[in-house]
Amino acid sequence: MLRSLFAIIVAVIAGLSVARFIEAATASLRASPASLGDGALPFDHQLTLVVAWFVGAAVASALALLLGRKWAPLGFLASGTILFSAIITILTFSLNWLIAAPAAVATAFAAYGVHILMKPQLDYPQGKAKRDYFSE
């Protein structure tokens, strides 16, 4: 149980860090939205946001599966948390609502792709059987 919790926390932090790094790197290469006049982001910048969320969800899902002994719900939970962060970003920065659908599809494909590659199990992984040293 603690291993699963640790896996989700570390995976989400790593996935969000990767996504935010990609977002910041692409934003620094472009003009600020205030200089555009109406505050709307150009299409290519919105596309890089979706790509950043895809990569962040893939990293979070893969790391959650690696740390959580390949238990499938952990990968989907980590990817869903990245999608939640993307929705919060859309609401916070008043982005176009049409970007929410590609964000949902991108994070879902990232989780599905990682699950296809890593082949996790749906049953909770059991620990090793404890040996009884004092029985006859």
pLDDT in tens, 65-96: 999 888 888 999 999 999 999 999 888 887 88
Helical pair 2-28 and 43-67, crossing angle rounded to 10 deg: 160
> How many Å apart are CA 45 and CA 60, to the nearest integer?
22
| The pLDDT of residue 20 | 93
**Within a domain: residue 123?**
no
> How many Å apart are CA 88 and CA 84, to the nearest integer?
6
| The pLDDT of residue 30 | 73
**Within a domain: residue 126?**
no
Task: Note down the domain range covering 98.
Answer: 2-31+40-118
**Within a domain: residue 134?**
no
Burial 21-51 (b: 16+ CB within 10 A, else e): ebbeebbeeeeebeeeeeeebeeebbebbbb
**Within a domain: residue 15?**
yes
| The pLDDT of residue 127 | 65
| The pLDDT of residue 112 | 94
Q: Say what the pTM is.
A: 0.83
Backbone phi and psi for residue 44, each to the nearest 5 degrees, phi listed first: -65, -30
For the chain, the first-to-last Cα distance in angstroms comes to 32
Query: Mean pLDDT of all residues in the chain?
Result: 86
Higher pLDDT: 50 or 125? It is: 50
Beta-bridge mates of residue 7: none
**Within a domain: residue 58?**
yes
